[in-house]
Amino acid sequence: MAGKDYGVVIISVLSGPLAGQVISAMGEVKLKASGFNITAESSADQLVMNRGFEPKPVVLSADFDRGNIPWDKIANARFDLTGTEVHAGVTHFLSQAGFTGESQESMKDGKVTGLEIACAPRSYRRRMQ
């Protein structure tokens, strides 16, 4: 969308052990919201092209501020959250979401890396404000 300002994303946890908290993302926040991956392959004689469809979860990727969040205690938790793009006027709802990946905490800058937040495609909604 030309002319829009992007960049500020507020991640608010609505349920679970972090209910009522805001998780601070550090740097870029990325969202894989399609819920699928489409692949292509060609035959050996290069006459036929087939496409494959693979369902995937919706995934929000970011580095997070370590803050005072007990990262080790929320590894198995499920929760509902919103990711609000402040300047773009878009809110992303992820229900029954959970962390995936392997966390790594930096003692230099306070970042927690290696984690993503994932939910089933049917548990994802997007709303323009």
Helices (H) and strands (E) in the chain, counts: 0, 10
pLDDT tens-digit series, residues 58-111: 999 999 998 888 877 787 899 999 999 988 899 999 999 999 999 899 999 999
Q: Where are the domains of the chain?
A: 9-128
Q: Whole-angstrom Cα distance, residue 95 to residue 120?
A: 8
Q: Whole-angstrom Cα distance, residue 50 to residue 39?
A: 8
9-128 fold: Elongation Factor Tu (Ef-tu); domain 3 (2.40.30)
Whether residue 1 has pLDDT greater than 50: no
